[in-house]
Structure 1
């Protein structure tokens, strides 16, 4: 597959200027605690012709940016964005291939080419969002949205995309301009940098080649796994995300134990990003804008001894700790004490596996007028099979077709062989299947 030179780049500005009093966007407390990185998501659409949609997408995006005005601005400093209406860089590229052929055997290195802009850590003066529309010879498109995580989480991006799609269809939507995370979580200048969740990560990074593996758990396989996980407690509800998280965690821990044979095995730390909108009492609006996630943390010091049912229970237990009382403390004057408690629970050393779930947030429903996406992906090109770097083991979960879950798994290469030969992953997950 070959992507020709970018054929156009244009900055899409809001169709109406952002009011002067909204020009400085102050980060919320939770925004402060997120690392400054660009996060990509790609939505793939099968079409017969893309010649008449590019201008329509630009116009409807311009309308949508009136509400989502921070995306059209730049980072001002560590605590704010300049909503100056400079516009989102919107590039169009031609792909010399058919999307249907690419989807027969999705390739992570090729996904790399769908991303707009250079790979870099965003800083002051950089765009908050970039978009690239990749147009295939067959008329299909792969739409890549890359955004600075300090401004929004993936729930906010899904809301943005659904509103953009509604504008593209002429359906309209309710303004969300006052629903921002600054209201429930105002900025705190007194929070030490080493108290934030993102500050833990450097302690657990490892050096090596990191490779991406893709696994699909079909609905039938998930039904069997959920039944097994619920056998010890039939009244307990087990979600698709719970069971897939537990399966991957178990296989990872066993791979770590095998690779570390004869050496001291570090405890294995698992984190799962939790949507605080659902956890607050009463719940916050589902479309509130900004970062409203927090990492639930699970730790095992004897990883080879854990059964799947135990791990499912542990996943549920650590997520259950992020409840209404937790959110209340995070919003209260005792927030500093809570952050110190969490920091003190962490080990000095650990082998780290981070989970983020994009399932059940509406990404698979984003329809610009030509149908829902046939697939979605998010591959960070810094994780290249041809580079040695310092990184982390990471899992991204997506909705797949027919009610399944797709897992995009980035692992240090030294764990891959042990992970892939694990009986449970081989039995219940399909490795890199084609997208039908």
Structure 2
């Protein structure tokens, strides 16, 4: 499908109310320092339908004005990273807002993206593509691009700097922005986040705490994506299969749907690696855990910034078994270990515990990022996050897309009627093997191929 993008305008949207002097310097937290220096793009597609009660020009104005109003509350998003990288200079520099148009109909694009989800990457903001480290500090913490289809449908890309906010903060921002846009909520009624995390767990010199991270060399092989729907009925069926392990004492708890799906995805990836290399290899999953509400320090559950820890989950062929209940147990124990490391103690205690956990991975010859004998991936649950309800006045999104497509990743999020959608990003040679794995075929074939790839209605 040949798509041509025409950029119409780019401007900086600034807070509608200037940031007060005492808030001009927003302190980053210790957990902000742990975040990768990259942007996290979220892409939402909205068709043009009967619920569009205002014209395009008026809708554009509402988008910009509502963004300006919400930035008065989430003021760090409109600032810039300071030179010392320990804080954000909140001088109301603004968020980049780009308008563009594309030469195709919305429904035609949706038909094509069913066959190739990689087409969604076309709508990512150019500002974050191939972003070099030297440019990262001067790039706005948030970049927005709104692209209109010929029929009036839109693609909205909202990309946030991971150094400034995690997934919770990013998705909460988008959801609240949509509410402000749709209902025209005034400035003085916008209040949904707290901004004191940097005071509770302040940034510090990490050189004595953490080893230098060795980032893997970028692969020349293309990453591609696919999506799989898992119905509530299928999840119940998978849970029933684990009942025997519970009855026999091999599993001592009732697993959650996220734990079950994570186990299925991970086991399939391990088997794909075995097929490619001819032997069972070590595997390391980074499972991001939202730690809000799980800390003894006086941190509010709606804290802005990064409060997430990548719980490392390690599979060792000589130690771990391949039964589903073994994976579920390993996932539960590893995630709980990460939570326990941050749940109790002073700020220094928490930092020491997190440092020990990260050193176990990044300073280890067995598990370090420069060890090519270890398969690594991210499996992240975005379930219960409010992206699917982000209604800017044009209904809920009919398609969502996550991430930069540069690492083996699996993203879970809520779909319709209790089902879960999984976006899987893998190298091309891995994807063909992954789709043929018995675990993956088992839960996708229940739906049938047509329903499995159906994109409308998604939510």
Give the structure-2-normalised TM-score: 0.84
CA contact (8 A) 2:193 2:303 kept: no
How far is the alpha carbon of 1:425 from its aligned partner?
A: 0.3
- In 2, Cα distance between equivalents of 1:370 and 1:226: 37
Q: Deviations over 1:96-116 (max 9, x none)?
A: 223233223423332122112
- In 2, Cα distance between equivalents of 1:308 and 1:110: 34
The residue number in structure 2 matching 1:268 is 283
The residue number in structure 2 matching 1:387 is none
The residue number in structure 1 matching 2:58 is 52
What SS is found at the alignment partner of 2:330?
helix
Matches within 5 A, 1:24-423: 24-48=25-49, 50-77=56-83, 78-106=85-113, 107-118=116-127, 119=129, 120-121=131-132, 123-168=136-181, 169-171=183-185, 173-176=189-192, 178-190=194-206, 192=208, 194-195=210-211, 200=213, 202=215, 208-233=221-246, 236-261=253-278, 265-281=280-296, 284-302=299-317, 305-324=321-340, 326-329=342-345, 331-333=347-349, 335-336=351-352, 338-344=354-360, 346=364, 347-348=366-367, 349=371, 350-380=374-404, 383=405, 392-423=407-438
Give the helix-richer structure, 1 or 2: 2
Change (3 A) 1:330 1:241: farther
- In 2, Cα distance between equivalents of 1:355 and 1:201: 20
Change (3 A) 1:67 1:13: same
Give the structure-1-normalised TM-score: 0.88
Consecutive unaligned residues in structure 2, runs of 5 or more:
none
Mean alpha-carbon deviation: is it higher for 369-378 or for 53-62?
369-378
Change (3 A) 1:427 1:338: closer
- In 2, Cα distance between equivalents of 1:109 and 1:193: 39
How far is the alpha carbon of 1:209 from its aligned partner?
A: 3.5
CA contact (8 A) 2:43 2:158 kept: yes
- In 2, Cα distance between equivalents of 1:28 and 1:361: 23
- In 2, Cα distance between equivalents of 1:45 and 1:185: 39
How far is the alpha carbon of 1:305 from its aligned partner?
A: 4.3
CA contact (8 A) 2:284 2:313 kept: yes
Aligned Cα root-mean-square deviation (Å): 2.7
- In 1, Cα distance between equivalents of 2:21 and 2:7: 34
Change (3 A) 1:154 1:342: closer
Alignment coverage as a number of residue pairs: 422
- In 2, Cα distance between equivalents of 1:155 and 1:302: 34
- In 2, Cα distance between equivalents of 1:58 and 1:261: 54
Q: Deviations over 1:245-275 (max 9, x none)?
A: 111100000111111116xx54111111000
Change (3 A) 1:181 1:3: farther
CA contact (8 A) 1:75 1:81 kept: yes
The residue number in structure 2 matching 1:22 is 23
Please point out which of 422, 440, 444 is paired with 1:425: 440
Mean alpha-carbon deviation: is it higher for 319-328 or for 309-318?
319-328
CA contact (8 A) 2:274 2:281 kept: no
Consecutive unaligned residues in structure 1, runs of 5 or more:
384-390
How far is the alpha carbon of 1:316 from its aligned partner?
A: 1.6
Change (3 A) 1:192 1:282: closer
Mean alpha-carbon deviation: is it higher for 221-230 or for 34-43?
221-230
- In 2, Cα distance between equivalents of 1:302 and 1:404: 32
How far is the alpha carbon of 1:138 from its aligned partner?
A: 2.1
- In 2, Cα distance between equivalents of 1:192 and 1:111: 41
Mean alpha-carbon deviation: is it higher for 26-35 or for 363-372?
363-372
